[in-house]
Amino acid sequence: MHDDRSLVEARLKRVLDERIRPAVYPESIPLDVAVWNAPGEPVPVAEGLAGPAEPVAVGDRWGAPWGTSWFRVSGTVPEKWAGRTVEAILDLGFDENMPGFQCEGLVYRPDGSPVKGLNPRNQWVRVAAPAAGGEEVLLHVEAASNPVILDYHPFLPTRLGDKETAGSEPQYRLARMDLAVFDETVWQLVLDLEVLGELMAELPVDGARRWEILRAISRALDAVDLQDVNGSAAAARAQLAEVLATPAPSTAHRISAVGHAHIDSAWLWPLRETVRKVARTTANMTALLEDEPEFVFAMSQAQQFAWIKEHRPEVYAKVKKAVAEGRFVPAGGMWVESDTNMPGSEAMARQFVHGKRFFLDEFGIENDEAWLPDTFGFAAGLPQIIKAAGSKWLLTQKISWSKINKFPHHTFRWEGIDGTRIFTHFPPVDSYNCSMTGEQIAHAARNFKEKGVARHSLAPTGWGDGGGGTTREMIAKAARMRSLEGSATVAWETPGDFFAKAEAEYPNPPVWVGELYLELHRATLTSQAKTKQGNRRSEHLLREAELWAATAAVRTGSAYPYEQLDRIWKTVLLHQFHDILPGSSIAWVHREAEKTYAALAEELNGVIDAAQRALAGDATGGTALLFNSAPHTRGGVAAGAAGPEAGAGTARLQPRDGGGYVLSNDLLKVEIDARGLVVSAYDLGAERETVAPGEAANLLQIHPDFPNQWDAWDVDEFYRNTVTDLTDLDELVPVEDGHTAGVRVVRSFGSSKVIQSLTLTPGVKRLDIDTEVDWHETEKFLKAAFPLDVHAERYASETQFGHVYRATHTNTSWEAAKFEACNHRFVHLEEPGWGVALVNDSTYGHDVTRTVRESDAGTTTTVRVSLLRAPRFPDPETDQGVHRFRHALAPGATIGDAVREGYRVNLPERRLTGSGAVAPLVTVDNDAVVVSALKLADDESGDLVVRLYESAGGRARVRIGTDFDATAVAATDLLERPLTDTEQPELADGAVRLSLRPFELVTLRLTRR
């Protein structure tokens, strides 16, 4: 037989595009349209419905950037359409290639009840089935004219990302506003042909199945009367029935389709717009659930449920009903789909606490899975947190975006730093916006790496980010692939059902140990420095507020601010969303975040001050008290206590031969040369130099920074090829205050200026470095380099509830890919018996490299902290302005010293005058065991909750003493519920004794009399 494949395939494409698809709506009439453009921010629904609308025509321009237009569409169903299915086609000017990234709408009835969303791939609204002739139609559309930020030529700088700079030029043209007859038979024919045509293209050319489908399609196209598609569609479908009915073999790959609409809680739109995106999508999905009995939809992020509960209660009522029916599934159990690299230990825990508690309180549902399809890599401390929250599974697919190494598994157990293992799945469809195309389904089956030992994978299905979610077309395609020869089988299932089946069939999957590093988007550890600083500061202020409020409640009977702290935590957690904290959102988002963090800081400082004043008592004639919020003794004051500060000797400053200054105390001698650079940091006790020979530390370096794409997200390795050392000096002056010794260094470069204070404090082996940068560069990357005389094959970076080790070398492509990585409060390097810590108060990105010196064959290991970037997309003014950072270099530091110094720099001392010392509520007799939170229980019982962890990576025996009337203790999960699968600790003589594994996390609930 002659090979006519290309002939039939070309015929299929043209007939579908030009004849069959247009026949889905064979008859239509225009609707009457009027519009009211709401001034300013979005208005309540009732106000929008009552707005003074004026006539508008198809083809007219509408929609200033970030504006809201209320369209009123009306018409009458023609008598001749009686008994037929009638839909409104409402095209606001959509580009079907951009679902989720442009204008959107939510349709309302005249009484204000929501109908469904309007999106580029979802423009229809069912009017009647069957219709009554003469029926009046009246609908209202709340249309958001969100501008296109990520256009066909992506990553171009734009001022559209902030309402203050976006202008008022209309963005869209009204494209179609019609009533139309919907021919379901033709629509079904379209789906038949699409499914078979897409499947055929994925099958081997030499296989019989491909040719069977080709011949059936050819016969179907022969049966189509191109002059009467509607009259011949049924006959064409009949020609396809047999090939559509041929079942898949039992060995076929099995895909669990989960309806999904990944909605970024902010990104190329502000937070307020996400509220409406969620309302549109959930209105869409609840309507679709009513029409499609097999469909299941999952939505993550408790914050998004809370938004529609508050702002769109009429939509939320439909959601609650669908959740109760088990078909609208709250997924993930987190407050938002957060970044997981940068949030601190407690913040990461609270993501699950607040997310799971919301789902429990609202729906009586507890999630077993963490759902993070789009997060930019996963910290190695996360498995323990997931387990401690009462969950056991994780889903993501983002690692498939890695550019260098292909991850070797799709289903595996992920082991964290403490040994906890979590059953994890990466959907091999490689998308969290699957649209059920044959190409995607075939890719999932081919790509699945567990072939031969497992058969199940998951496909999150639907348009995200305001694209409207799953469509009826996707559901129709999935129905045809329920069992279809040549295709993987597809069935709608909940995430929980998928994971249960996947785990049951694959009880001993491979294990991946350590972080899940995304080999992409590394610059998100640095972009938008003020957002990152706001997050870090908020996390530590919350620690202080809970500690002192709980202490004041127990010691003085002061009221504990439960509701206030709950609200603040949720605000901080929201801003850890994976496009806010990483700095990859539009200017509007980060401008608002800066204001929000400032307001939270003021509020939390008020809570802290009130609690400490209640504890300090009468200040008249009192003594100076140091309040120590850190988890270790400081200034002679115990952790969580207040008392007089102990003296600590002196620090000295003197001129240096050859220029510069020498700072010294009894532990450390630091030399700063005439360039203002640290050329020596000598550990007097160990008789050991810190700075590599011939090198200078605290060396600011600047690189060009123009990645190939994803400007705010990416830094490409070639940035290192060009570097400028900033050694020119404006000013170098000594600074002494009678207690500390230091120097002030001022430099200018480009259009920017930096002022640094390098300070040595008595009694501590640490050089403090305060940096202020007035930053006005563009597409540049600023780092601070510390070349250290340390031979180390690996180094430690703090992560949640512990630290992770990374190689200093690049033996493998996996190690080479980590040329920019994340740390929390410290990076630590050591040789046996001696180490160095570099701590920070707000930076996350860093790199570590090593070289061998020709002079003495010694190893120089250089740590460089990332300070600032200046990408122009999506915020063209990223990081412009004044920034302040605190770092400290701690020579001779053990890992325990690194932990302590990291907390110190993030929890500065507070001092009040008071009547007497304040004893800590809880004491810990092992410095390796760190209290990460001390608070009152969330259920307002008055119980005290203490969360602690082993911080050094070893085993630790610890006595937790209590200085209040504790009557009982229970080990709990993160939600403060007693654990039932572990031996409970005992309270004896006011103390609890524990034996902890490396990095083990424990939550204790202490009952008070």
Mean pLDDT of 276-304: 97
The pLDDT, as a whole number, for residue 30 is: 98
557 pLDDT more than 90: yes
The pLDDT, as a whole number, for residue 522 is: 98
Going by C-alpha positions, the residue among 317, 319, 359, 369 that lies closest to residue 335 is 359
- What angle in degrees, to the nearest 10, is found between the helix axes of 562-574 and 345-363? 110
pLDDT in tens, 818-829: 999 999 999 999
The pLDDT, as a whole number, for residue 407 is: 98
pTM higher than 0.85:
yes
Mean pLDDT of 137-142: 98
**Residue 833 structure tokens:** 């018996």
Query: DSSP state, 915?
Result: S
Distance of CA 942 to the CA centre of its chain: 33
Mean pLDDT of 953-970: 98
- Going from the C-alpha of 873 to that of each of 64, 262, 569, the distances in angstroms are 21, 22, 29
Q: What percent of the chain has pLDDT above 90? A: 97
Residues designated as active site: 374
Pairing type for strands 678-683 and 688-689 reads antiparallel
Going by C-alpha positions, the residue among 414, 434, 622, 588 that lies closest to residue 509 is 414
Residue type, position 353, single letter:
V
Mean pLDDT of 303-316: 96
89, 176 Cβ separation under 8 angstroms: yes
Mean pLDDT of 637-655: 93
pLDDT in tens, 748-793: 999 999 999 999 999 999 999 999 999 999 999 999 999 999 999 9
738 pLDDT more than 80: no
Listed as own residue / partner, the contacts of 96-101 with beta carbons closer than 8 Å and 24 or more positions apart are 96/120, 96/121, 98/148, 99/463, 99/465, 99/466, 99/467, 99/468, 100/463, 100/464, 100/465, 100/466, 100/467, 100/468, 101/148, 101/149, 101/150, 101/268, 101/465, 101/466
CA atoms within 13 A on the CB side of 255: 33
736 pLDDT more than 90: no
The pLDDT, as a whole number, for residue 621 is: 77
What span, in angstroms and rounded, lies between the C-alpha atoms of 240 and 208? 16
406 pLDDT more than 90: yes
705 pLDDT band, cuts 50/70/90, is very high
pLDDT in tens, 224-273: 999 999 999 999 999 999 999 999 999 999 999 999 999 999 999 999 99
The pLDDT, as a whole number, for residue 552 is: 98
> Ramachandran region of residue 301, left (φ > 0), alpha (ψ -120 to 50) or beta?
left
377 three-state secondary structure: coil
The pLDDT, as a whole number, for residue 1 is: 64
What span, in angstroms and rounded, lies between the C-alpha atoms of 163 and 292? 39
153 pLDDT more than 70: yes
896 pLDDT more than 90: yes
1003, 937 Cβ separation under 8 angstroms: no
The pLDDT, as a whole number, for residue 799 is: 98
845 pLDDT more than 80: yes
Mean pLDDT of 480-506: 98
pLDDT in tens, 10-58: 999 999 999 999 999 999 999 999 999 999 999 999 999 999 999 999 9
- What angle in degrees, to the nearest 10, is found between the helix axes of 302-311 and 271-291? 90
CA dihedral 276, 279, 280, 284 (to 10 degrees): 170
CB burial of 793-821 (b: ≥16 within 10 Å; e: otherwise) equals eebbbbbbbbbbbbbbeeeeeeeebbbbb
72 three-state secondary structure: strand
The pLDDT, as a whole number, for residue 618 is: 85
Q: What percent of the chain has pLDDT above 70? A: 100
The pLDDT, as a whole number, for residue 737 is: 84
CA angle 658, 664, 665 (to 5 degrees): 170
Pairing type for strands 1001-1008 and 944-950 reads antiparallel
Phi then psi dihedrals of residue 949, to 5 deg: -150, 155
In the chain, what is the straight-line distance between the N-terminal and C-terminal CA atoms, in Å? 90
**Residue 823 structure tokens:** 């740390």
| Cis before 998? omega within 30 | no
What span, in angstroms and rounded, lies between the C-alpha atoms of 844 and 610? 32
The pLDDT, as a whole number, for residue 739 is: 85
What span, in angstroms and rounded, lies between the C-alpha atoms of 938 and 975? 8
What span, in angstroms and rounded, lies between the C-alpha atoms of 213 and 362? 49
Mean pLDDT of 491-497: 98
